[in-house]
Structure 1
Amino acid sequence: MAHERDAQESFVAALRRLGEARRRARTALVEPPPPRPKAPPAGRAGRDLPAAIGVGVALLVVVALSLFTRPEAFVVLVVVAASGALWELARAFLQRGIKIPLLPLWVGTIGIVVSAWAAGPEAMLMAFVLTAGGVFIWRVLDGGGRAAVRDASAGMFAAAYVPLLAGFAVLMLALDDGPWIVVAFILVTIGNDIGGYVAGVLFGRTPMAPSISPKKSWEGLAGSVLMSAALGAAMMALVLGGTWWSGALLGVAAVAAATTGDLAESLLKRDLGLKDMGSLLPGHGGIMDRLDSLLVCAPVCYVILSAATGQLTF
Structure 2
Amino acid sequence: MSYLDPRAGQNSGDTYAEPAYQNPAWHADERAPDPMNHADEKAPDPMNSDDESRRGPGKRRAGRGRKPEGKSRAGRNLPAAIAVGLSLGLVVLASLLVWSPALLGVVVLAAGVGVWETSRALSVTGARPPVIPLIAGTAVMTGLAWYEGADALTVGLVVTIGAAVLWRLADGVAAVRRDFTSIVLIAVYVPFLLSFAAMLVRPEDDGQWRVLATVVAVVLSDTGGYAAGVFLGKHPMAPKISPKKSWEGFAGSITASAIGSGALLFFLMHVPVYYGLLFGAVLSVVAVLGDLAESMLKRDLGIKDMSNLLPGHGGLMDRLDSILFAVPTAYLLFAIIAPN
Question: Aligned to 1:99, what secondary structure does the other structure show?
Answer: coil
Q: Distance in 1 between matches of 2:48 and 2:181?
A: 48
- Which of 170, 185, 196 aligns to 1:141? It is 170
Structure 2 counterpart of 1:171:
199
Q: 1:120 to 1:198 in 2, by over 3 A?
A: same
- Which of 178, 182, 198 aligns to 2:211? It is 182
Structure 2 counterpart of 1:218:
247
Structure 2 counterpart of 1:155:
183
TM-score, normalized by length of structure 1? 0.87
**Pair member with larger Rg:** 2
Question: Aligned to 2:304, what secondary structure does the other structure show?
Answer: coil
Structure 2 counterpart of 1:283:
312
- Which of the pair is proportionally richer in helix? 1
Structure 2 counterpart of 1:23:
38
Comparing 242-251 and 31-40, the one that deviates more: 31-40
Question: Where in structure 1 are there 5+ consecutive unaligned residues?
Answer: 1-18
Identity rate, percent? 42
In the TM superposition, what are the counterparts of 1:58-207 in structure 2 within 5 Å?
58-143=87-172, 145=174, 147-175=175-203, 176-207=205-236
Instruction: Tell me whether 1:44 sits opposite 2:59 in the alignment.
Output: no
Shift of 1:33: 4.4
TM-score, normalized by length of structure 2? 0.81
Question: Aligned to 1:98, what secondary structure does the other structure show?
Answer: coil
In the TM superposition, what are the counterparts of 1:5-20 in structure 2 within 5 Å?
none
- Which of 244, 255, 261 aligns to 2:273? It is 244
Q: 1:34 to 1:267 in 2, by over 3 A?
A: closer
Q: Deviations along 1:185-228, whole A, 9 cap, x unmatched?
A: 00111111000000001100000000000000000000001000
Q: Distance in 1 between matches of 2:235 and 2:284?
A: 18
Structure 2 counterpart of 1:272:
301
Q: Deviations along 1:90-110, whole A, 9 cap, x unmatched?
A: 110111111111111011000
Runs of 4 or more consecutive aligned structure 1 residues displaced over 3 Å after TM superposition? 19-39
Contact 1:172 1:306 in 2 (8 A): no
Q: Deviations along 1:39-84, whole A, 9 cap, x unmatched?
A: 6162222211111111111111111111111222211011011000
Shift of 1:29: 6.3
How many corresponding residue pairs?
292
Question: Aligned to 1:216, what secondary structure does the other structure show?
Answer: strand
Q: Distance in 2 between matches of 1:218 and 1:76?
A: 37
Comparing 134-143 and 67-76, the one that deviates more: 134-143
